[in-house]
């Protein structure tokens, strides 16, 4: 058996990479998306796995800036992980991720993140689900019943998608500062990831529509519509919400009312809403506004645990000894004393007895404030040696808003 080598996948091999992705992700080559994927991969750091001259695996890493509590950090956005069906389960993904961790260290990226195709794959590599999303469906065959009055003094305006980043970008940035787990968007990201003319996953959806409320805007929604059946009595169309952000409860209520009352539609389907979406409290009738799905969204890898912990803000003081395990990056493993508080944090090696024992996977799940360690202790996924230690870490990690993102990559 030949040895597989991991090296940079050059621009000249992009067509081979896209062919491999088509095979692995069961795609048929479509020119429009091939050009888009090429443009996207060109912006990525690219790792190829070569069996002789044959490209048998690839992994992209998009250079992201991820919001973390109190700030933001450079983060490798792992994407397009693909291994040829002839070379599965021979350690190629493992080898490409090991190479990615090395490159993160070289480029001072303490974090890596990804969206998993299957939840079972990435935990063994030290990744934990750090944000969660839910799908909310609103039955709009009847008027939406809300517990507060929507703002009725603020104008609603439709904005052309090409103008939207300039108009709603500052609102997104302000919300991103509150919600950890979000990537910084540039024009490329808005144009290709948020507002492409067609939806890559669903041909039935119309182009993106952007509605703002207020002048200057205090909220906005991005959505696409799917037309309904023409038959009398048949279900109406569906409004597919891409994102909705609002600075005030009244503006949020007005945007939800707007979406719920679009003519010729009878349902709003909102994918990837935060689990603490105020809509779930605003709704007067939870049979009308239902959570139909909940899922792990962004998986996070603390590639450099000390740098990651020392870069975020802390809600309460804690002084704890953590016994960390890390199967694929042993430099993170061992006993560390975490001293953290509103003034900052330090993580230093120690021989002291541990208060908590956990894997970096569990620490990654808790890092943005979206998972409580005490629940993981209760589930047997982490060990508490000092009573109250998990609760103390949870208080220190707590954030006012749950971490949340819908920016898939
Ligand atoms: C971030 C993203 O891009 S998500 C997209 C991921 N890509 C896909 O789903 C495309 C289709 N699948 C593939 O291309 C490949 O099967 C991959 C990339 C998922 C895995 O590649 P492989 O080279 O086979 O993985 P590798 O051999 O390194 O496996 C490492 C370990 O993960 C496990 N593993 C790999 N894939 C899976 C899976 N789908 N489900 C559960 N475990 C898995 C292996 O069993 C192995 O465990 P072991 O060490 O205990 O034996």
Residue 311's CATH number: 3.30.1050.10
Q: Is pLDDT above 80 for 84?
A: yes
Same domain, yes or no, for 198 and 160?
Answer: yes
Residue minimizing CA distance to atom 45 of ligand 1: 89
The atom number, within ligand 1, closest to the CA of 59 reads 3
The atom number, within ligand 1, closest to the CA of 118 reads 39
Instruction: Give domain status of residue 359, yes or no.
Output: yes
User: Which one of 89, 115, 141 terminates a domain?
Assistant: 115
The atom number, within ligand 1, closest to the CA of 97 reads 28
Q: Is the dihedral of CA 305, 310, 311, 317 positive or negative?
A: positive
Instruction: Give domain status of residue 120, yes or no.
Output: no
Same domain, yes or no, for 244 and 275?
Answer: yes
Q: Is pLDDT above 60 for 194?
A: yes
14 pLDDT tier (thresholds 50, 70, 90): very high
Q: pLDDT, tens digit, for every residue of 121-156?
A: 999 999 999 999 999 999 999 999 999 999 999 999
**Cα–Cα distances in angstroms (integers) from residue 253 to residues 18, 135, 149, 211, 221, in the given order:** 43, 18, 7, 14, 12
Beta bridge partners of residue 340, listed in sequence order: 318, 345
Please report, for the domain that includes residue 77, its CATH number. Answer: 3.40.630.30
73 pLDDT tier (thresholds 50, 70, 90): very high
Cβ atoms < 10 Å from Cβ of 99: 19
Same domain, yes or no, for 169 and 257?
Answer: yes
Ligand 1 centroid to residue 57 C-alpha, Å: 11
Instruction: Give domain status of residue 124, yes or no.
Output: no
Same domain, yes or no, for 205 and 258?
Answer: yes
Residue 92 counted as an annotated binding residue: yes
Q: pLDDT, tens digit, for every residue of 287-312?
A: 999 999 999 999 999 999 999 999 99
The pLDDT value recorded for residue 153 is 92
Testing ligand 1's pocket by substitution, the residue of 26, 40, 46, 81 carrying the most ligand atoms inside 8 A of its CB is 81
Residue minimizing CA distance to atom 42 of ligand 1: 121
Same domain, yes or no, for 62 and 189?
Answer: no
- Please check whether residue 250 is in contact with residue 282, taking contact to mean a CB–CB distance below 8 angstroms: no
Same domain, yes or no, for 311 and 291?
Answer: no
31 pLDDT tier (thresholds 50, 70, 90): confident
**In angstroms, rounded to a whole number, what is the distance separating the alpha carbons of residues 76 and 107?**
10
Tokens encoding 294: 């909940």
Region 249-270: mean pLDDT is 97
User: Which one of 273, 295, 317 terminates a domain?
Assistant: 295
Cβ atoms < 10 Å from Cβ of 288: 18
The pLDDT value recorded for residue 255 is 98
- Please check whether residue 222 is in contact with residue 259, taking contact to mean a CB–CB distance below 8 angstroms: no
Region 346-362: mean pLDDT is 98
User: Which one of 240, 269, 295 terminates a domain?
Assistant: 295
Same domain, yes or no, for 252 and 180?
Answer: yes
Q: Is pLDDT above 90 for 192?
A: yes
Same domain, yes or no, for 109 and 248?
Answer: no
Residues 6+ apart with CB under 8 A from 216: none
Who wins on pLDDT, 225 or 230?
225
Same domain, yes or no, for 272 and 312?
Answer: no
The pLDDT value recorded for residue 234 is 75
409 is annotated as an active-site residue: yes
Pocket (CB within 6 angstroms of ligand 1): 24-25, 78-83, 88-94, 114, 116-118, 120-121, 124
- Please check whether residue 257 is in contact with residue 144, taking contact to mean a CB–CB distance below 8 angstroms: yes
Residue 91 counted as an annotated binding residue: yes
Backbone angles phi, psi at 11, to 5 degrees: -55, -35
Residue 90 counted as an annotated binding residue: yes
Ligand 1 centroid to residue 185 C-alpha, Å: 29
Instruction: Give domain status of residue 105, yes or no.
Output: yes
Q: Please give the angle made by the CA atoms of 157, 161 and 164, to the nearest 5 degrees.
A: 65
Instruction: Give domain status of residue 121, yes or no.
Output: no
Region 86-114: mean pLDDT is 98
**In angstroms, rounded to a whole number, what is the distance separating the alpha carbons of residues 183 and 189?**
9
Ligand 1 centroid to residue 88 C-alpha, Å: 7
Cβ atoms < 10 Å from Cβ of 396: 21
Q: What is the ipTM of this complex?
A: 0.96
Backbone angles phi, psi at 45, to 5 degrees: -75, 135
Region 92-110: mean pLDDT is 98
- Please check whether residue 157 is in contact with residue 212, taking contact to mean a CB–CB distance below 8 angstroms: yes
The atom number, within ligand 1, closest to the CA of 25 reads 10
Q: Is pLDDT above 80 for 258?
A: yes
122 is annotated as an active-site residue: yes
Same domain, yes or no, for 15 and 40?
Answer: yes
Instruction: Give domain status of residue 371, yes or no.
Output: yes
The pLDDT value recorded for residue 4 is 97
Q: Is the dihedral of CA 141, 143, 145, 148 positive or negative?
A: positive
Instruction: Give domain status of residue 126, yes or no.
Output: no
The pLDDT value recorded for residue 1 is 54
- Quote the percentage of the chain above a pLDDT of 70: 99
For residue 105, give the nearest of 322, 344, 331 by alpha carbon.
331
Number of domains composing the chain: 3
Q: What is the mean pLDDT of the chain?
A: 96
Residues 6+ apart with CB under 8 A from 344: 310, 314
Region 222-233: mean pLDDT is 86
Residues 6+ apart with CB under 8 A from 70: 312, 313
Residue 81 counted as an annotated binding residue: yes
- Please check whether residue 53 is in contact with residue 12, taking contact to mean a CB–CB distance below 8 angstroms: no
Ligand 1 centroid to residue 75 C-alpha, Å: 22
93 pLDDT tier (thresholds 50, 70, 90): very high
Same domain, yes or no, for 183 and 34?
Answer: no
Ligand 1 centroid to residue 127 C-alpha, Å: 14
Residue minimizing CA distance to atom 21 of ligand 1: 93
Instruction: Give domain status of residue 403, yes or no.
Output: no
**In angstroms, rounded to a whole number, what is the distance separating the alpha carbons of residues 238 and 259?**
10
231 pLDDT tier (thresholds 50, 70, 90): confident
Whether a cis peptide bond, with omega within 30° of 0, leads into 216 is yes
Q: Is pLDDT above 60 for 380?
A: yes
The pLDDT value recorded for residue 2 is 64
- Quote the percentage of the chain above a pLDDT of 90: 95
Task: Give kind and range of the element (H or E) at residue 300.
Answer: strand 299-302
Range of the domain at 384: 305-397
Same domain, yes or no, for 111 and 139?
Answer: no
Q: Please give the angle made by the CA atoms of 178, 139 and 204, to the nearest 5 degrees.
A: 85
Q: Exactly one of 62, 80, 122, 220 is catalytic; name it.
A: 122
The pLDDT value recorded for residue 229 is 80
């Amino acid at each position: 058996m030949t040895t597989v080598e991991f090296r940079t996948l050059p621009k000249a091999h992009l067509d081979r990479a896209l062919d491999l992705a088509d095979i692995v992700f069961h795609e048929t080559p479509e020119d429009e998306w091939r050009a888009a994927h090429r443009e996207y991969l060109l912006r990525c750091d690219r790792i190829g796995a070569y069996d002789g001259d044959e490209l048998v695996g690839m992994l992209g890493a998009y250079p992201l800036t991820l919001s973390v509590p109190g700030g933001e950090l450079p983060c490798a956005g792992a994407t397009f992980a693909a291994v040829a069906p002839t070379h599965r389960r021979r350690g190629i993904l493992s080898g490409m991720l090991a190479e990615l961790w090395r490159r993160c260290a070289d480029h001072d990226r303490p974090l890596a993140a990804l969206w998993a195709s299957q939840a079972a794959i990435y935990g063994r590599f030290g990744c934990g689900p750090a944000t969660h999303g839910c799908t909310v469906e609103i039955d709009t065959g009847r008027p939406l019943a809300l517990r507060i009055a929507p703002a009725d003094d603020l104008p609603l305006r439709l904005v052309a998608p090409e103008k939207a980043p300039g108009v709603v970008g500052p609102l997104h940035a302000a919300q991103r500062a509150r919600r950890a787990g979000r990537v910084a968007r540039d024009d490329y990201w808005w144009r290709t990831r948020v507002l492409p003319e067609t939806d890559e996953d669903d041909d039935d959806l119309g182009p993106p529509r952007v509605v703002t409320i207020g002048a200057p805007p205090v909220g906005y929604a991005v959505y696409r519509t799917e037309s309904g059946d023409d038959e009398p009595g048949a279900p109406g169309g569906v409004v597919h919400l891409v994102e909705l952000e609002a600075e005030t409860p009244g503006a949020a209520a007005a945007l939800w009312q707007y979406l719920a009352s679009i003519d010729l539609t009878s349902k709003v389907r909102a994918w990837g809403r935060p689990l603490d979406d105020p809509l779930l409290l605003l709704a007067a009738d939870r049979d009308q506004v239902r959570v139909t799905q909940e899922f792990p969204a962004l998986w996070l890898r603390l590639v450099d645990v000390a740098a990651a912990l020392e870069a975020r803000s802390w809600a309460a003081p804690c002084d704890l000894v953590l016994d960390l395990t890390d199967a694929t990056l042993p430099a993170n493993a061992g006993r560390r004393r975490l001293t953290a508080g509103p003034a900052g944090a330090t993580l230093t090696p120690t021989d002291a007895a541990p208060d908590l024992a956990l894997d970096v996977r569990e620490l990654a799940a808790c890092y943005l404030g979206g998972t409580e360690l005490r629940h993981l202790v209760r589930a047997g996924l982490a060990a508490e040696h000092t009573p109250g230690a998990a609760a103390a870490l949870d208080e220190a990690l707590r954030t006012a808003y749950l971490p949340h993102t819908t920016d898939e990559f």
